[in-house]
Amino acid sequence: MRKAFKSFKDFIEICSRIESTSSILKKQEILAGFLKTLSRDEIKPFIMLISGKIFEKEERELGIGYRSVLSVLKRGKIRPLLEEGPISMVDVYKRLVRISEIKGESSIAKKRMMLHGLYNMLSSEEREYLTRIIFGEVRIGASEGLILKSIAEAIKAPLDEVKRAYLMIGDLGETAEIALIGGRNGLKRIKMKVFNPVKPMLATQARDVKEALISAGGRAAVEFKYDGARVQVHVKDEVLRIYSRSLIDLTQSFFDLADELKGKIRAKEAIVDGEVVAFSENGKPLPFQILVRRIKRIRKLPEIAERIPVRIFLFDVLYVDGKTLIDRPYMERIRVLESIANPDILAHRIITSDLKKAEDFYERAIKLGHEGVVVKNLLAPYILGSRERTWLKVKPAETLDLVIVGAEWGHGRRKGWLSDYYLAVYDDERDKLEIVGKTFKGLTDDEFREITRRLLSLKVAEEGNT
């Protein structure tokens, strides 16, 4: 027998109640209460809609963005509420899934048509929320953290249990389903699994090596920080997959690396963490912009792969042959990593309490063309998906004397300022300036204001946006 699903209007009502209370505890109570009333088929759609994600782990994209919504809204003829009866929350979710599935010729027109149809069934308030869901901007104060708390409250489980489960499966909807249907026992059964990527641990910034070494406990590991893409490698028997920081499968983009790695990780099953870096023929690391040409590339991938060879540098291990290692101290994980991985795929690292040695190591990293170093506490566990102070990255504030030779007007928040500067180095031998790149980073808003003022006073020409 089919259960009576909650209507989309009920959903909107919950959203607006949550939005209009400022108390976090109250929000949590409302959410937890609503979660308990849902039937099992409604849990996932509800979570996805309220978190504004629609899809999390699935390899799916909506293909509807700002432009499409605008065009549909402009079409007008949207009348509040036709006589079709209330649409259910699950139905709205299913329609969004269907829109995402449309592909091929005139798919954009079809997507927009379906979206138009959906808008036509909604009241103006409902339309407003749907638009926000599509943009992933629900912003009612029901973000990831609050949803996790609400799930915990709904099943009377400690927050840590829910969080742990969420981090292992990486999907809020699934976590809610397991928690609400299977309870605490269900959550406890969740384990880290190969080919189920998890959110990587992140580092916080430190001013210099000295500060980092002190805050990491005096004696610490110092690793090269590479200018590349963070990846997680999963292996089981002869199958190997490479995932991005946001859990996207990048195995195809790095097919050559994937092949090479199969022979270099000696474990039946493993999940390891590292950085993929592009290298030039002469063994020098190439900047991230070069590497990114391979990411999600399909056209002429084999040629590009040959022209842009990549290497990987592993610096952690989360799981090996049935054992989850994330709660183990850093040193222990490193020992395991060294026992299963070939030395040539390991990140460069020293362990020291000597500031001079750490600083020399940092200088060496820079000299070799890397970004800097990451200083790591030897006892730190691997906290999934979290930016921790047990890992401290140190990057140079300035390494080159550059001249700004051009600038573009900024967009959005930087409108009215010159951002995105063309930088040049002075070439002594040829007595001229050579453009070496562009940047937009590293400045505060005040500095942008100041630079804009100074650049305008030095301006020699303006052309279009540049």
Partner DNA sequence: GATGTCTGCCC
Partner DNA sequence: ATTCTGC
Partner DNA sequence: GCAGAATGGGCAGACATC
Interface with DNA by CB under 7 A: which range of 157-165, 201-209, 254-262, 357-365? 201-209
Q: Does 116 bind DNA (CB under 7 A)?
A: no
Q: Which is nearer to DNA, 237 or 446 (CB)?
A: 446
Select which of 6, 27, 44, 225 is catalytic.
225
How far is CA 2 from each of CA 39, 78, 85, 117, 149, rounded to the nearest angstrom? 10, 31, 17, 25, 30
Q: Which is nearer to DNA, 24 or 181 (CB)?
A: 24
Interface with DNA by CB under 7 A: which range of 119-127, 170-178, 439-447, 452-460? 439-447
Which one, of 65, 318, 355, 308, lies nearest residue 194 by Cα? 318
Which one, of 16, 219, 224, lies nearest residue 123 by Cα? 16
Residue 63 near residue 107 (C-beta atoms within 8 A) = yes
Question: Position 83: which residue type?
Answer: E
Q: Which is nearer to DNA, 255 or 360 (CB)?
A: 255
How far is CA 275 from each of CA 231, 288, 405, rounded to the nearest angstrom? 6, 11, 33
Rg of the Cα trace of the chain? 26
Q: Does 232 bind DNA (CB under 7 A)?
A: no
Q: Does 411 bind DNA (CB under 7 A)?
A: yes
Q: Which of 75, 230, 307, 364 binds DNA (CB under 7 A)?
A: 230
Question: Position 165: which residue type?
Answer: A
For CA atoms 149, 154, 158, 161, the dihedral sign is negative
Q: Which is nearer to DNA, 443 or 455 (CB)?
A: 443
What are the residues facing 142 on neighbouring strands?
A: none
Size of the site for DNA (CB under 7 A): 64
Q: Which is nearer to DNA, 7 or 131 (CB)?
A: 131
Between CA 151 and CA 233 the distance in angstroms is 30
Active site residue 225: yes
Q: Which of 76, 85, 104, 464 binds DNA (CB under 7 A)?
A: 104
Task: Tally Cβ neighbours within 10 Å of residue 308.
Answer: 17
Q: Does 250 bind DNA (CB under 7 A)?
A: yes
Q: Does 299 bind DNA (CB under 7 A)?
A: yes
Smallest gap from residue 350 Cβ to DNA (A): 22
Q: Which of 433, 443, 451, 455 binds DNA (CB under 7 A)?
A: 443
Q: Does 124 bind DNA (CB under 7 A)?
A: no
Q: Does 105 bind DNA (CB under 7 A)?
A: yes
Q: 152: exposed, middle or buried (C-beta count within 10 Å: 0-12, 13-18, 19+)?
A: buried
DSSP string, 49-81: HHHT-S-SSSS------HHHHHHHHHT----S-
Smallest gap from residue 88 Cβ to DNA (A): 24
Between CA 398 and CA 420 the distance in angstroms is 17
Q: Does 188 bind DNA (CB under 7 A)?
A: no
Q: Does 65 bind DNA (CB under 7 A)?
A: yes
Q: Does 26 bind DNA (CB under 7 A)?
A: no
Q: Which is nearer to DNA, 65 or 80 (CB)?
A: 65
Q: Does 367 bind DNA (CB under 7 A)?
A: no
Q: Quote the DSSP letter at residue 265.
A: B
Q: Which is nearer to DNA, 39 or 107 (CB)?
A: 107
Residue 296, phi-psi category: left (phi > 0), alpha (psi -120 to 50), beta (remainder): left
Contact flags string 311-340 toward DNA, x per CB under 7 A:
------------------------------
Q: Does 399 bind DNA (CB under 7 A)?
A: no
Which one, of 320, 317, 300, lies nearest residue 308 by Cα? 300
Q: Does 107 bind DNA (CB under 7 A)?
A: yes
Q: Which is nearer to DNA, 179 or 277 (CB)?
A: 277
Contacts of 457 (CB under 8 A, 6+ apart): none
As given in the structure block, the two tokens for residue 322 are 């049935």
349-352 and 372-377 as β-strands: parallel, antiparallel, unpaired? unpaired
Give every strand in the sheet of 372-377, ordered side by side. 202-205, 387-394, 372-377, 220-225, 349-352
Smallest gap from residue 422 Cβ to DNA (A): 9
Locus of tokens 């305008």:
456
Q: Does 189 bind DNA (CB under 7 A)?
A: no
Smallest gap from residue 247 Cβ to DNA (A): 7
Interacting residue ranges for DNA, rule: CB under 7 A? 22, 61-69, 103-109, 137, 139, 141, 143-146, 202, 204-205, 229-230, 244-246, 248, 250, 288-289, 292-293, 295-299, 301, 386-387, 389, 408, 410-415, 419-420, 438, 440-446
The residues carrying an active-site annotation are 225
